[in-house]
Amino acid sequence: MAAGVFCMCGIVGIVGSNAVAERLVDALKRLEYRGYDSAGVATIHNGAMDRRRAEGKLFNLEKRLDAEPLPGNTGIAHTRWATHGVPNVTNAHPHFVDGVAVVHNGIIENFSELRDELTAEGAVFTTQTDTEVVAHLMAKYLREGVEPRAAMLRMLNRVSGAYALVVMLKSDPGTLMAARSGPPLAIGYGRGEMFLGSDAIALSPFTNEIAYLVDGDWAIVTRDGAEILDYAGNPVERPRQISQTTAYVVDKGNHRHFMEKEIYEQPEVISHALSHYVDFASNTVGDNAAAIDFKSVSGLAISACGTAYLAGLVGKYWFERYARLPVEIDVASEFRYREMPLSPSQAALFISQSGETADTLASLRYCKDNGLKIGAVVNVKESTIARESDAIFPIMAGPEIGVASTKAFTCQLAVLASLALGAGKARGTITPEQEKQMVRHLAEMPRIMSRVLNLIEPQMESLSRELSKCRDVLYLGRGTSFPLAMEGALKLKEISYIHAEGYAAGELKHGPIALIDENMPVIVIAPYDRFFEKTVSNMQEVAARGGRIIFITDEAGAAASKLPTMATIVLPNVDEIIAPMIFSLPIQLLAYHTAVFMGTDVDQPRNLAKSVTVE
C-alpha cells in the first residue's frame, strides 16, 4: 500500500459525446460535503486543451464558466483541499504541463526528490503543489517517445504516496487514465460515454453502474468502456455493481455497512484533518493550532461524552507530556454538575462529533460563564458548540453515518495530537527538532493505517467468531492505551451487545482479576513503549489464571513477549505520538466483525443515536 497524507478532494472525469463542462461542475457539487477551498475544470476541444479554475466555492467557478465557456466532450474536474501550497487559482487543479492535465486527491510523498530531479533536468514548476510532479513526469516520458500507456505505468512506478489520479492527454482526446492507491476512485459505465469519480454520489446523475478501483489499480477509460490493470500492467477484473443512492450524501461503496466503509476511510480523513493543522513541507505545526494562546494559559479543561471523551483522555496524556500543561477532564454530564473551580487564566476544549451534544454544550456554557477561552473540536463547523466557541478546531472527518464512531474518533485524536504539539511549541516544551520529528511521524500515519487495515482484516474476521461466543470481555492498557482499552470495550458493547469493560492494566489486581477464568477473553493493548514491561507483567497474572489473552502489540512487542495467547495481532512499530490512532484500528475491526457475525444492526444499534441532543 502506498503512503501519504491526503485530503478529501473531489475528482470527476467524463469521456462523452456531448459537452461535459457543465456536467462536471454539477457532479462536483455533489462532492461539496468533503470540503474544499478551490475548484477547476479542464476539457479538450478541437485538438486544444483548456481549463477554468477559481478560488473558493463552486459558485466562483460557475461564474468563470458563464463568462468564458469551455467546450469539449472529454474533461476532468476537481475540488481541492490544500495540503501543499496555499489555496489559490495557481495551485488549483487541473494542472497542465506540455499537453498533460492532471487532477489528484492525495499526496505524492516523494515529491521533493522528484521535483529536484526534474528541475535539474530543466523542468519549470509553476505551482507549490506536490501534484505538479505527476504532470511533469508524464510530459517527460511522452517527450522521450514513450507511448501513453507505458508513460502512465512508468510514472506510477516512480511516485510513492496515497493518491487517486486522473490524467488527460491533449494527444489522445478520447481517453482518460486513472489510478488509485489509497483514496477512493470509481468508474461509471454509461451508454456511449464513461465516467470517473471520487465516489458513486458524484456519478449518480450519470449512471448507477459502478466499478470501484482497488489499491494498486489503474485504468484506461474511453467512451466505449474501461480497461483495468495492475501496476505490472496485467489486466484485472473489478465487479460492476448497481449503486443505490439514498438520502445520505454518501453510499456504502463496496462495503456491507457504513461503519465498515468509515473504518476504511480513516487514512483519507486523517490526512484531511492533519493537513489543516500541520505544514508537511516544513514539518511544522501550522497557525491553526495557535487559535488558543496555549503559551499564556495556566491549565486546560477538557469535556466530552462517550467516544469523544475517550479521545479527550488520550489528549490529556499528550497535553501534559508535550506541553507540560495541567489538564482537568471529565465526562460532560459530570463536569457540568461538579461546580469545579475555574479561572479565566485557563482554557477549555469541548469535543463533539455533531457539535450539538447537550451535556457538552452545557459544560461549555459553564466554562464560558467563568471567563475561560473556549475551543471546540467538532466535525460540524456550523454546529451550536462551534458557534458558541472562541476557536473552532474542525476534525474534517466528513459525514459519519454509523452510530458507533470510528473515523470521527481517530480524527479527533489527530487534531488533539496536533494541538498538543502546537501547545508544546508555544510553551517551549518541545524543541524545533522534536516538533519536526513528530510531524514526520504524523505524516506517515495514513500510509501505516492503510497498511494495517489490509494486514489485519482476515485475522480480525476470524477472531470475531470466537469472541461472538463470549458473554464478557476485558480490555487492558496503560498510558494512552488505557483510553483505547475503554474505547475498545465501548465499541464492542455498542454494536455486538456483549458486555465489555476497559481497565488500566495496573488496576487488574485491584478487583477485575477476580473475573479471570478460562472462559474470559482479555484483550491487552500494548505497543512496545515505556509501559510495555509493566503491561506484560499484568498479562502474566492473566495467563496464570487461565485467561484467554488477545494480545494487540507491535513487531517489537511480539518479539519481546513469549506468553501464550489466544491470538496475537502484530502491528508495525510506530512512534508513541501516532500509536493511539494505529492501535484504534484492530479494536474497531474486532467489534465490527463480531457484530456482523452475530447479526446485529451494525450501523444503527439499538437504543443509540448519532447525536445526543437531550440530557
pLDDT in tens, 542-573: 877 878 889 999 999 999 988 888 899 999 99
Residue 385: pLDDT band (50, 70, 90) is: confident
* Number of domains within the chain: 2
Top-confidence residue, 545 or 245: 545
CATH number at residue 42: 3.60.20.10
Identify the pLDDT of residue 22. Answer: 94
> Among 213, 246, 279, where does a domain finish?
246
Residue 248: pLDDT band (50, 70, 90) is: very low
Please compute the mean of the pLDDT values over residues 436-455 and round it to a whole number.
Answer: 94
Top-confidence residue, 68 or 602: 68
- The number of beta carbons lying within 10 Å of the beta carbon of residue 56 is 15
Identify the pLDDT of residue 203. Answer: 87
Please report whether residue 39 resides in a domain: yes
Identify the pLDDT of residue 244. Answer: 54
Residues catalogued as catalytic:
9, 610
Q: Which residues of 108-124 are buried (b: 16+ CB within 10 A; e: fewer)?
A: bbbbeebbebbeeeebe
| Grid cell of 460 as nine digits | 480480525
Identify the pLDDT of residue 469. Answer: 87
Please report whether residue 607 resides in a domain: no
Please report whether residue 111 resides in a domain: yes
Residues 173 and 277 in one domain: no
Please report whether residue 152 resides in a domain: yes
Residues 431 and 542 in one domain: yes
Residues 342 and 380 in one domain: yes
pLDDT in tens, 338-383: 878 889 999 999 999 888 777 888 899 999 999 999 999 998 787 7
pLDDT in tens, 137-166: 999 999 999 999 999 999 999 999 878 999
Please compute the mean of the pLDDT values over residues 13-30 and round it to a whole number.
Answer: 92
Whole-number average pLDDT of the chain: 88
Residues 204 and 340 in one domain: no
Which amino acid makes up residue 393?
F
Residues 137 and 216 in one domain: yes
Q: Please tell me the distance from the alpha carbon of residue 537 to that of residue 560, in angstroms, as a whole number.
A: 12
Please report whether residue 612 resides in a domain: no
Please report whether residue 252 resides in a domain: no
Q: Evaluate if residue 326 carries a pLDDT over 90.
A: yes
306-322 helix and 481-496 helix, angle to the nearest 10 degrees: 170
pTM of the model: 0.69
Please report whether residue 272 resides in a domain: yes
Residues 446 and 594 in one domain: yes
Identify the pLDDT of residue 255. Answer: 84
The 3-class secondary structure across 271-300, one letter per residue, is HHHHHHHEECCCCEECHHHHCCCCCCCCCE
Percent of the chain at pLDDT exceeding 90: 60
> Among 246, 274, 308, where does a domain finish?
246
Residues 569 and 440 in one domain: yes
Sheet holding 209-212, edge to edge: 48-55, 38-45, 74-80, 10-15, 194-197, 186-189, 209-212, 240-242
Sole residue written with cell 477472531 = 463
Top-confidence residue, 565 or 176: 176
Residue 291: pLDDT band (50, 70, 90) is: confident
pLDDT in tens, 479-511: 999 999 999 999 999 999 999 999 988 887 888
CA dist list (Å): 431 to 294, 325, 552: 16, 16, 32
Please compute the mean of the pLDDT values over residues 59-63 and round it to a whole number.
Answer: 93
Q: Evaluate if residue 34 carries a pLDDT over 60.
A: no
Percent of the chain at pLDDT exceeding 70: 94
Residues 487 and 535 in one domain: yes
Identify the pLDDT of residue 432. Answer: 96
* Domain that includes residue 332, residue range: 261-598
Identify the pLDDT of residue 615. Answer: 43
Residues 56 and 93 in one domain: yes
Residue 250: pLDDT band (50, 70, 90) is: low
Please compute the mean of the pLDDT values over residues 405-410 and round it to a whole number.
Answer: 94
| Grid cell of 320 as nine digits | 501534559
Identify the pLDDT of residue 35. Answer: 56
Identify the pLDDT of residue 607. Answer: 65
Please report whether residue 469 resides in a domain: yes
Q: Please tell me the distance from the alpha carbon of residue 219 to that of residue 224, in angstroms, as a whole number.
A: 13
CA dihedral sign of residues 87, 89, 94, 97 = negative
Residues 469 and 346 in one domain: yes
Residues 273 and 223 in one domain: no
CATH number at residue 303: 3.40.50.10490
Residues 231 and 284 in one domain: no
